[in-house]
Amino acid sequence: MKIIVCIKQVPDTKGGVEFNPDGTLNRAAMLTIMNPDDKAGLEAALRLKDKYGAEVTVLTMGLPKAADVLQEALAMGADKAILVTDRVLGGADTWATSTTIAGAIRNLEYDLIITGRQAIDGDTAQVGPQIAEHLKLPVISYAMDIQVDEAAKKVTVKRQYDDRYHIVEAQMPCLVTALAELNEPRYMSVGGIFDAVKAEITTWGRADLKDVEDCNLGLKGSPTKIAKASDKVRKGKGEKVTPDSPEEAVSYIVGKLNEKHAL
Amino acid sequence: MALEDYKGVYVYAQQVDNEISPIAFELLGKAKDLAAPLATQVTAVLIGSGVKGLADRLAEYGADRVIVVDDPELKDYRTEPYAHALASVINEYKPEIMLVGATAIGRDLGPTVSARVATGLTADCTQLDIGDFPLVAIPGQEQKHNQLLMTRPAFGGNTIATIACPDNRPQMATVRPGVMQKIDPVAGAKAEVIEYNPGFTPDNRYVTIKEVVKAVSDTVDIMDAKVLVSGGRGVGSPENFKILEDLAEALGGTVSCSRAVVDAGWKPKDLQVGQTGKTVRPNLYFAIGISGAIQHVAGMEESDIIVAINKDEDAPIFDVADYGIVGDLNKIVPQLTAAIKAEKAKKAAG
Q: What is the pLDDT of residues B314-330, one digit of tens each?
A: 999 998 999 999 999 99
**Nearest-CA residue of chain B relative to A258?**
B343
In a domain, B200, yes or no: no
Confidence of residue A22 (pLDDT cuts 50, 70, 90): low
**Is residue B46 a part of any domain in this protein?**
yes
Do the domain assignments include residue B69?
A: yes
Choose from B79, B284, B341 for mutation: most chain A CBs within 10 A.
B79
Residues of B in contact with A181 (CB under 8 A): none
- Range of the structural domain that residue B140 is part of: 3-195
Q: From the list B149, B217, B319, which residue is nearest A234 (CB)?
A: B319
Mean pLDDT for B288-305 is 89
The whole-number average pLDDT for the span B62-88 is 97
Question: Any idea what the CATH number is for the domain that residue B129 is in?
Answer: 3.40.50.620
**Cα first-last separation, chain B:** 68
Total domains present in chain B: 2
Query: A167-171, B2-6, B39-43, B154-158: lowest mean pLDDT where?
Result: B154-158
- Kindly state the DSSP code that residue A3 receives in the 8-state scheme: E
Give exposure, B75-85, as e/b (b: 16+ Cβ within 10 Å). Answer: ebbbbbbbbbb
Instruction: State the Cα–Cα distance between residues B164 and B150, nearest whole angstrom.
Output: 6
Distance from CA of B99 to the nearest CA of A (A): 15
**Whether residue B150 has pLDDT greater than 90:** yes
Residue A232's pLDDT is what?
Answer: 64
Q: What percentage of chain A exceeds 70 in pLDDT?
A: 92
Same domain flag for B186 and B333: no
Q: What is the pLDDT of residues A187-227, one digit of tens each?
A: 888 888 888 877 889 999 999 999 999 999 999 999 999 99
Q: What is the pLDDT of residues B330-340, one digit of tens each?
A: 999 999 999 99
**Residue of A154, A186, A161 lying closest to B17 (CA atoms):** A161
Per-residue confidence (pLDDT) for residue B21, from 0 to 100: 95
Please state at what angle helix A190-198 crosses helix A67-76, rounded to 10 degrees.
130
Specify whether B231 is located in the same domain as B136.
no
CB-side neighbour CA atoms (13 Å) of B6: 23
How does pLDDT run across B18-43, given as a tens digit for each residue? 999 999 999 999 999 999 999 999 99
As a whole-number percent, the residues of chain B with pLDDT over 70 amount to 97
Residues of chain B neighbouring A228 (CB-CB closer than 8 A): 135, 161-162
pLDDT surpasses 60 at A16: no
Of B112, B159, B305, the CB nearest to A260: B305
What ipTM is given for this predicted complex?
0.87
Per mean pLDDT, which range of B106-115, B262-271, B302-311 is the poorest?
Answer: B262-271
**Predicted local confidence at residue A15, as pLDDT:** 54
According to the model, what pLDDT value does residue B92 have? 98
Q: Do A17 and B212 touch (CB under 8 A)?
A: no
Tell me if B237 is assigned to some domain: yes
AA letter at B305: I
Q: Is there a cis peptide before residue B177, judged by omega within 30 degrees of 0?
A: no
Polymer length of chain A: 263
Q: Chain B partners of A121 at a C-beta cutoff of 8 Å?
A: 154-155
pLDDT, position B2: 86
CATH number for the domain harbouring residue B250: 3.40.50.1220
Using the predicted structure, report yes or no on whether residue A117 has a pLDDT greater than 90.
Answer: yes
Q: Is residue B210 part of a domain?
A: no
Residue B142, pLDDT score: 93
Q: In this structure, are B153 and B276 located in the same domain?
A: no
pLDDT band at A236 (very low <50, low <70, confident <90, very high): low
- Checking if the pLDDT of A14 tops 80, the result is no
> Looking at the structure, do residues B147 and B257 belong to the same domain, yes or no?
no
Phi, psi of B223 (to 5 degrees): -70, -20
pLDDT of residue B278: 84
Mean pLDDT of A39-56: 96
Cβ contact (<8 Å) for B79 and A139? yes
Q: How confident is the model at residue A235 (pLDDT cuts 50, 70, 90)?
A: low
Q: How far apart are CA A82 and CA B164, in angstroms?
A: 32
CATH superfamily of A2-216: HUPs (3.40.50.620)
State residue A263's pLDDT score: 82
Arithmetic mean of pLDDT, B55-84: 97
Q: Chain B residues with CB inside 8 Å of A262's CB?
A: 283-284, 305
Residue with more model confidence, A25 or A164 = A164
Helical (H) or strand (E) element with A140: strand A139-149
Count of other CB atoms within 10 angstroms of residue B139 = 4
| Residue B246, domain member (yes or no) | yes
Same domain, B17 and B160: yes
Is residue B205 included in any domain, yes or no?
A: no
> What is the mean predicted confidence (pLDDT) over A102-112?
98
Per-residue pLDDT tens over the stretch B188-243: 999 999 999 999 999 999 999 999 998 765 556 888 888 999 999 999 999 999 99
Which pLDDT score is estimated for B217?
A: 55
Q: Are strands A164-171 and B208-214 parallel, antiparallel or unpaired?
A: antiparallel
Pairwise CA distance, residues B169 & B119, whole Å:
6
Same domain, B168 and B258: no
- pLDDT number for residue B216: 60
Residue B212 located in a structural domain:
no
Q: CA triplet B189, B34, B87: central angle to 5 degrees?
A: 85
Half-sphere exposure in the Cβ direction for B82 (13 Å, CA)? 27
Burial label, B287 (beta-carbon count in 10 A; 0-12, 13-18, 19+)? buried
Average pLDDT over residues A104-133: 95
Mutation target for B interface from A161, A177, A213: give the one with most B CBs within 10 A. Answer: A161
Residues in CB range of B140: below 8 A, 6 or more apart:
none
A38 or B157: which leads in pLDDT: A38
- Do B141 and B25 share a structural domain? yes
pTM for the whole structure: 0.83
pLDDT at A245: 94
Yes or no: say if B309 and B289 are a contact pair by the CB < 8 Å rule.
Answer: yes
The pLDDT of residue A244 is above 80: yes
Residue A25: HSE in the Cβ half-sphere, 13 Å Cα cutoff: 23
B50 and B185: one domain?
yes
- In terms of Cα–Cα distance, which of B25, B21, B41 is closest to B192? B41
